[in-house]
Amino acid sequence: MRIIDIRECTVGLEGNVANALVNFRDHTVSLVALLSDQQRDGKPVVGFGFNSIGRFGQSGILRERLIPRLRVARDEELLTADGLSFDPGAFAKISMRNEKPGGHGDRAGAVAALELAAWDLKAKLADEPAYQTIRKYFNLSSNSNSADVYAAGGYYYPDDSLSRLQDELKTYQDMGYEAFKVKVGGAPLSDDMRRIESAIAVAGAGKRLAIDANGRFNMRQAEQMAKEIEALELRWYEEPGDPLDFELNKHITEIYHSAVATGENLFSVIDTKNLIQFGGMRAGKDIFQMDPGLSYGLTEYVGMLGIMEASGFKREQCYPHGGHLINLHVVIGLGLGGCEAYPGVFQPFGGYSSQIEVQEGRILPSDAPGFGLEQKENLYPHLQLLSETVDGKN
Amino acid sequence: MRIIDIRECTVGLEGNVANALVNFRDHTVSLVALLSDQQRDGKPVVGFGFNSIGRFGQSGILRERLIPRLRVARDEELLTADGLSFDPGAFAKISMRNEKPGGHGDRAGAVAALELAAWDLKAKLADEPAYQTIRKYFNLSSNSNSADVYAAGGYYYPDDSLSRLQDELKTYQDMGYEAFKVKVGGAPLSDDMRRIESAIAVAGAGKRLAIDANGRFNMRQAEQMAKEIEALELRWYEEPGDPLDFELNKHITEIYHSAVATGENLFSVIDTKNLIQFGGMRAGKDIFQMDPGLSYGLTEYVGMLGIMEASGFKREQCYPHGGHLINLHVVIGLGLGGCEAYPGVFQPFGGYSSQIEVQEGRILPSDAPGFGLEQKENLYPHLQLLSETVDGKN
């Protein structure tokens, strides 16, 4: 059993939306394909992965550093000890050979795309959805095959209004979502408060609405917002300040009684350890949003869960960033708190396939093998193009 | 005054050396050129920069994200408010448009190459060495035109021995160096102690020898080494553990009485703030090694100095990672503690030009304009190739 080719391409994200800091007009994602020598129905089995959403494709790092290291690895180095299946952790480890410690940024997403493609491949070779493969690999006993899900949206649009925001959330309600997240920090506080109140009017209660400042606020602004929203008892208050400003995060957890959420911009076990040691996160209350697709993949992510659980936190406090099929399987497979969805944006990677239902705020994956990326109609052409026969041979 | 072209290329590093974690055989550096519309002696003035040494070229990030943003900037956005000179900080800021916070890794080096090229250009347009331009820009009063320097080497070689190590340090002594650094952590502790003792025998005293574990040790190993070297009163003990393991660093500063050095793998102001708040660094004693060439450039680096000085540390505690001409000018311009040199390795970027003298452990830059990279004979062909006329026009 061996990998016969490793391919990557860069795919542009559709849409023109903005959070408090970033416009996503020019954002890209790296799609990776691992072509195996195994076949199903006369075709080679291919594992697909991508580096989540929001931090750009990584073609340079993939082509110049990571993929060449995997190409020169011996076949057996990529297999489990018994030689019977692929070992996704080995893909991450080998692709990181001769990399220095620290600097967990772009390369963490590039490694993740490869590692997650190995999970897709492993699940397809076992003829099962990825969440089952993940659950077995880590010896987890959960039987749940659905996850809590909320609709993330409420971005700032070039032509924005409160009624547009309310219409957006109503659309999500019609799809079956019962909890929502909207952006703050991109407008004056009084305007943002009107956005929040308009959103609650649709959501029905503060506990059904989270807000996300995307790290925009300084200490004073983060405090001001905390005081303004204190009585609303929101679902959570996300990334009030810089994701690495542990002092600010700790301060907000001390003055704000509802949940604080953060972690989507921490990409390693050691950064997560620092958040836990220095960031004031509260066991049983605050939300961790690290995203395996930006963080060296599932193997590193499970290391983060280990640090969390050793420190008294529960994995149910985890709602990974990145509303897409890969993280849906991660959430169900690992028994996390839930996942997000971007029903309208970040196509073709964001959101779920048409086979997947949202019912009363919960989401159920299909029984497609792997992450089921092939079932996403607008993503499928990219998968096909990347994995098709080259030079007349597979 | 405007930029007429921005170019980058990837240059391989020569040599086959290894520290405790990394073999540098396949390492690369991104060289960047900013071509201006200004002329000297009938030729366009070109600013050159590179992303220091040790963490790979960044052609993907430069080509796909940073350079396109600079290309669409208006000419005046890259100038100081009076419109009379280039503003290096603006190059960093504009190249980071639409980037998310956190994740200070590969992109920090890519931005740095551009920002430092802007300093080279700015100094050349002022017809002065870069250290003078830096000193004026930040209103610093120092008059020194030399810096403390030590020779960094003592890597693990495929065919290594104690006599090879001693011969290496003697070669550095013959060049005028009086302080040295050798690698540890890549061999059993007893072997490393013999390396250290052999090195001290040449150096003459523990205070002339630093050791560098490159982040290799876990808590127990870091402690063991600290105890073994305690009586030797070494110059410093560098990166005992993971560069982001602030708990480990703090513990070593509590049990080890000589200086600890770290920071070369922290690439942002916020990571530096966390090191200061949580890492146990001691004012007036421990050494900070953040490297502007890996950290978004000089502008971000000066922000790090601001956090340090506001917390009671002195800039004389700074010995930036990266022994090359750019950091020589940074050290003298900003009045830092000193710089390193890699006399034998990391060519063509490592080390200094033949015009530059080392005398009694101090180093003096030449009076070439900018960083004087053109005077480095083995680097010059790369500069020439990158900046030469294309399509018959400049």
Interface test with B, best of A22, A100, A321 (most B CBs within 10 A): A100
The predicted-structure confidence for A85-133, as pLDDT tens digits, reads as follows: 999 999 999 999 999 999 999 999 999 999 999 999 999 999 999 999 9
The predicted-structure confidence for A260-278, as pLDDT tens digits, reads as follows: 999 999 999 999 999 999 9
The confidence score (pLDDT) of residue A389 equals 66
The confidence score (pLDDT) of residue B101 equals 96
The confidence score (pLDDT) of residue B175 equals 92
Contact A266 B214 (CB under 8 A): no
The predicted-structure confidence for B82-109, as pLDDT tens digits, reads as follows: 999 999 999 999 999 999 999 999 999 9
E-only strand ranges, A164-208: 180-183
Contact B98 A26 (CB under 8 A): yes
Report ipTM (2 d.p.).
Answer: 0.95
CB A271 within 8 A of CB B244: yes
Lowest model confidence (mean pLDDT) among A16-25, A283-292, A302-311, B294-303: A16-25
pLDDT (average), residues A171-198 = 96
Phi-psi region of A14 (alpha: psi -120 to 50; beta: other; left: phi over 0): beta
The predicted-structure confidence for A369-392, as pLDDT tens digits, reads as follows: 999 999 999 999 999 999 986 644
The confidence score (pLDDT) of residue B24 equals 76
Interface test with B, best of A111, A239, A244, A311 (most B CBs within 10 A): A244
Which of the two residues, B22 and A210, has the higher pLDDT score? Answer: A210
The predicted-structure confidence for A274-297, as pLDDT tens digits, reads as follows: 999 999 999 999 999 999 999 999
Tell me which chain B residues have a C-beta less than 8 angstroms from the C-beta of A27: 98
Measure in Å the smallest separation between the Cα of A4 and chain B Cα atoms: 24
The confidence score (pLDDT) of residue B393 equals 44
The confidence score (pLDDT) of residue A394 equals 39
Evaluate if residue A307 carries a pLDDT over 80.
yes
Contact A244 B102 (CB under 8 A): yes
The confidence score (pLDDT) of residue A22 equals 75
The confidence score (pLDDT) of residue B292 equals 98
Q: Which of A104, A124, A183, A382 is catalytic?
A: A183
From B23, B65, B103, residue closest to A105, measured CB to CB: B103
Tokens of A389: 């026969």
Long-range pairs, A336-339, Cβ under 8 A, ≥24 = A336/A147, A337/A148, A337/A287, A338/A147, A338/A148, A338/A149, A338/A150, A339/A147, A339/A148, A339/A149, A339/A363
Evaluate if residue B394 carries a pLDDT over 60.
no
From A55, A61, A65, residue closest to B103, measured CB to CB: A55
Q: What is the percent of chain A with per-residue pLDDT over 90, rounded to a whole number? A: 87
CB B275 within 8 A of CB B266: yes
Cβ atoms within 10 Å of A255's Cβ, excluding its own = 11
Confidence of residue A346 (pLDDT cuts 50, 70, 90): confident
The confidence score (pLDDT) of residue A30 equals 98
Number of cross-chain residue pairs from A and B with Cβ atoms under 8 Å apart: 143
The confidence score (pLDDT) of residue B389 equals 66
Tell me which chain B residues have a C-beta less than 8 angstroms from the C-beta of A273: 245, 247
Confidence of residue B52 (pLDDT cuts 50, 70, 90): very high
Catalytic residues of B: 183, 321
Evaluate if residue B392 carries a pLDDT over 50.
no
Confidence of residue A3 (pLDDT cuts 50, 70, 90): very high
Considering only alpha carbons, which residue of chain B is nearest residue A24? Answer: B98
The strand pairing partners of A341, in sequence order, are A151
ω before A348 within 30° of 0 (cis)? Answer: yes
Q: Mean pLDDT score of chain B, rounded to an integer?
A: 94
Contact A28 B99 (CB under 8 A): no
Identify the residue whose tokens are 């930029």: B3
Evaluate if residue A173 carries a pLDDT over 80.
yes
Tokens of B198: 């052999």
